[in-house]
Amino acid sequence: MRKFVLNRLLQIIPLLLGISLLSFLVTRLAPGDPTALFIDPNIDPLELARVRANWGLDQPIFIQYLVWLKNALLLDFGRSYTTGLPVITEIGERLPMTLLLMISSFILTLLITIPVGVISAVKKNSWFDNLFTFISFAGMAIPTFWLGLMLMLVFSVKLHWLPAVGNLALPLITMTIGSLAGLTRYQRGAMLEVLNQEYIRVARAKGLPERVVIFKHALRNALLPTITILGLSLPDLFGGAFVIETIFAWPGMGRLGVQAIFQRNYPTIMGIVMLSAILIIVGNLLADIAYAIVDPRIRYEKK
Amino acid sequence: MAIAMDFDQEGILRSSLNGEVSILNPVLSTDNISSAVEGAIFNGLITFNEKLEVIPELAASWQASKDGKTWTFNLRRDVFWHDGRPFTSEDVVFTYNAILNPKVNSVRRSDYIINGQPIKFKALDKYTVQAVLPVPFAPFLVRMGMGIVPKHLLGGKDLNTASFNRRPVGTGPFIFKEWTSGDHVTVVRNPKYFLGAPKLAGIKYKMIADDNSQLVALEADEIDEAGIPPKDYERMKKKAGIKVYDYDVLLYIYLGFNLANPKFADLRVRQALAYATDKKQLVDLIFKGLASPASAPTAPISWAYNSNVPKYEYNPERAKKLLKEAGVNSLEFTILVNQGNKEREKAAVILQQQYKKVGVNVKVRVMEWSALLKIVNAPKDPKEFEAVIMGWSLGLDPDAYSIWHSSQYPAGFNFVKYSNKKVDRLLDQGRLTTDKNERKKIYAKIWQEIAADQPYIFLWYPKALTGIRDRVGGLSKPGPAGLFVHLEKVFIRNAQVRP
């Protein structure tokens, strides 16, 4: 197990290097530059050139990358062009808010997905199953920004139950509905498949109570696909946070990222990309480890 | 009483910002969101009243020498920084020298450089500042509104990275209290403010980047103030508890042609397109009367406005005739518009329909703002950029040198490559003349020349639409300077504020 984890950790290094080079090139090759937004007729373009040079943007792109990489290895991600703050500080102020939103949505999703998936599978085609099938498809079909605005109109403007902006409740609900939709389907499918396995029939034939059959024998195996999907859905959660944070004025990292992209604020974009990459890689690693724990057959790369 | 009333919470104005505050230092900030908050914390030597006329602020009075090159500002003696230190001429000189320092990332530097030479600022005594210009320069005084920053907190520090930029100290009506990144900035009243203590307990600026969310928050009574998109104007006007104001602003929207592109080199082609443009239909369809058709590169509320310019009233027959005369049998071009600006996107589609009637085919390309600017500002090939819908927000001074002077292409804002010797000469003259009536005549001639040449088709003059909750009082008369010209006079009805 230790060797397995170590191996995976070593693979991360070239992966991160590749991500950094690729995203550095993509952000720089996008048309526009951070001073292009100052289209004020009172500003002399020479001043913009001076500011660009102060930021080192007059250097060849490859040199800029090497400088960035050298500093990044020393955990210095530069300073934001717009705020003058170190990127680390800037992200540090915002990451906890994004994690709060993501983790609470993650937990809420799990708490709902597992029982709903199990009940839907056990009581296939019941009203309960049909209801959640409907909700899932609706959840997948509705765009997040629209759902968010509708929730605001109903709960904030009409009912005055929840604040529209700067409160956890509405963004959490919106985000959870979004990720719930697909996941309950997966859980239901996996559970159905396991319930048709021979060992379940054997367990039932042995006369074990139904509760034990379902929760001890079936669920444990049916959790595998859910864990995988959860690990893989981390990037989606980040992507969703970009939209949700903007709509609900939630001061997280997603909104910082959106703004940085529009402003071509390169140091901040790179900082957020690298941090997201690390979080996603770690998420996937944890999913793999959880996998190996749940199912002892899966200990990869064993010769 | 069971519940202790928090009087200070009661008198807080819940303002909203359509994006994020980035930096609270007037020398460095470049976005109007940060500037909005800075307006409450800092003062300039001069400021502007509702009619956008220059009025004294930190400077009590000023005189210009006969040759117009030496300006002397007499400062107020009753001004204190929020930390209690007195404000003096040293602070003024420090601020302007900081802007002029090439290492400081201030894009405002060129405002204080004339013909390549910086303005020299000198403290004559504790309360007198002198500015020496290389040549007389008409737009000088309106540029003296820059927020002054304290020397005793910033002297000897790297301004670009100073922690001050996050915890500013000013002389203004409100004292900085807290800033939660991406969420809000709070300022509280400065009881010793030199123009009188504010009636508000403070202002909480909530950052809400999304237009729709901002509107919802206003309707849900979570904020007191928000911009209203034209499409929501009628609906919001009917809402109880909200009053909607509309007022003119110094801004015009245009369709600009790349004159370096052979398609638009012939004046008759541009004139034909101008005749084919039904501006009235455009503003009626998009704004339902909340904007007016434009005809010149100025705005009706500017003191240099002059409506006596060639107007090219809608006349499709004339347009067809002109195209024929120019020998153009088929014309096809692309209009660029920036993504997310609904009004401009609609305008592009309406123009497409209007031009079709005279046999001109238009394609509309919606682009992200930075990407669009890149194409317009520095096209690799003149054919890449044909036409664009954009707007110019105008300064208080009518000087439009960097937009229209032929020297301002390619490095400058004359990205359509407009070149007219007479306009060049008049623009130079306009900057050097200090007499306002003389200048008015000069700019009237400039607008006439440009309108005749139609490098842009001037589309409309927009209005600002703002919704304010009824509980807010003490607003200034709606006008180009906004509704909060005298921030210290704004109050919340029925709120008691501790003295």
Name the pLDDT band for A296 (thresholds 50, 70, 90).
Answer: low
Closest listed residue to residue B409, CA positions, set B395, B420, B393: B420
Q: What is the pLDDT of residue B499?
A: 60
Sign of CA dihedral B33, B36, B37, B43: positive
- Read off the pLDDT of residues A265-283 as tens digits, 9 standing for 90 and up: 999 999 999 998 888 888 8
The answer for residues whose C-beta is within 8 angstroms of residue A167's C-beta and 6 or more apart is A248
From the CA of A84, how many Å to the nearest CA of chain B?
5
Looking at chain A, the whole-number percentage of residues with pLDDT higher than 70 is 97
Q: What is the pLDDT of residue B6?
A: 45
Low-confidence ranges of chain B (pLDDT < 70): 1-9, 498-499
Tell me the pTM. 0.86
- The CA-to-CA distance between both ends of chain B, in Å, stands at 22
From the CA of A146, how many Å to the nearest CA of chain B?
11
Question: Quick check: is A24 in a domain?
Answer: yes
Give SS3 for B401: helix
How many other CB atoms are there within 10 angstroms of residue A240's CB atom? 21
Token pair 């720089």: residue = A28
Describe the strand order of the beta sheet including B59-64 as a list of residue ranges: B59-64, B70-75, B128-132, B120-125
Same domain, A117 and A263: yes
Q: How many whole angstroms separate alpha carbon B58 and alpha carbon B146?
A: 11
Question: Quick check: is A84 in a domain?
Answer: no
Instruction: Say yes or no for a CB contact (<8 Å) between B395 and A30.
Output: no
Nearest Cβ partner for B22 among A43, A82, A246: A82
From the CA of B3, how many Å to the nearest CA of chain A?
22
From the CA of A115, how many Å to the nearest CA of chain B?
34
Q: Which residues of B touch A166 (CB under 8 A)?
A: 183-184, 206
- Read off the pLDDT of residues A173-196 as tens digits, 9 standing for 90 and up: 998 888 887 788 888 888 888 888
Question: Quick check: is A149 in a domain?
Answer: yes
The answer for residues whose C-beta is within 8 angstroms of residue B53's C-beta and 6 or more apart is none
Instruction: Say yes or no for a CB contact (<8 Å) between B209 and A51.
Output: no
Same domain, A62 and A153: no
Q: How many whole angstroms separate alpha carbon B209 and alpha carbon B19?
A: 4
- Across the strands, what pairs with B205? B15, B185
Instruction: Say yes or no for a CB contact (<8 Å) between B374 and A36.
Output: yes
Interface test with A, best of B111, B178, B183 (most A CBs within 10 A): B183
Instruction: Say yes or no for a CB contact (<8 Å) between B20 and A255.
Output: yes
Q: How many whole angstroms separate alpha carbon A46 and alpha carbon A48?
A: 5
Q: Is a pLDDT exceeding 60 seen at residue A100?
A: yes
From the centroid of its chain, how far is CA B263?
Answer: 32
Same domain, A238 and A113: yes
Instruction: Say yes or no for a CB contact (<8 Å) between B107 and A43.
Output: yes
Name the pLDDT band for A299 (thresholds 50, 70, 90).
Answer: low
Interface test with B, best of A27, A28, A44 (most B CBs within 10 A): A44
Same domain, A99 and A233: yes
Q: How many whole angstroms separate alpha carbon A240 and alpha carbon A179?
A: 9
Q: Which residues of A touch B368 (CB under 8 A)?
A: 262
Same domain, A49 and A179: no
Q: What is the pLDDT of residue B435?
A: 87
Question: Quick check: is A265 in a domain?
Answer: yes
Q: Which residues of A touch B146 (CB under 8 A)?
A: none
Question: Quick check: is A176 in a domain?
Answer: yes
DSSP state of B442: H
Instruction: Say yes or no for a CB contact (<8 Å) between A31 and B371.
Output: yes
Phi then psi for residue B178, to 5 deg, are -150, 160
Same domain, A34 and A108: no
Nearest chain B Cα to A148, which residue? B213
Question: Quick check: is A118 in a domain?
Answer: yes
Closest listed residue to residue B478, CA positions, set B242, B292, B243, B187: B243
Same domain, A244 and A288: yes
How many domains does chain A contain in total? 2
Question: Quick check: is A253 in a domain?
Answer: yes
Same domain, A126 and A262: yes
ipTM confidence score: 0.82
Q: How many whole angstroms separate alpha carbon A173 and alpha carbon A152?
A: 11
Helix locations, chain A, DSSP H: 2-29, 45-54, 61-73, 87-122, 127-141, 144-152, 169-195, 198-205, 210-212, 219-232, 234-247, 253-263, 266-294
From the CA of A172, how many Å to the nearest CA of chain B?
16
Closest listed residue to residue B167, CA positions, set B12, B14, B25: B25
Instruction: Say yes or no for a CB contact (<8 Å) between A42 and B111.
Output: yes
Where residue A218 sits, what CATH number does that domain have? 1.10.3720.10
Q: Which residues of A touch B377 (CB under 8 A)?
A: 36, 39
Domains, chain B, ranges and CATH? 12-19+165-248+465-497 (3.40.190.10), 42-160 (3.90.76.10), 251-462 (3.10.105.10)
Question: Quick check: is A303 in a domain?
Answer: no
**Of A20, A37, A72, which residue is a domain's last?**
A72
Same domain, A124 and A210: yes
Name the residue range of residue A13's domain: 2-72
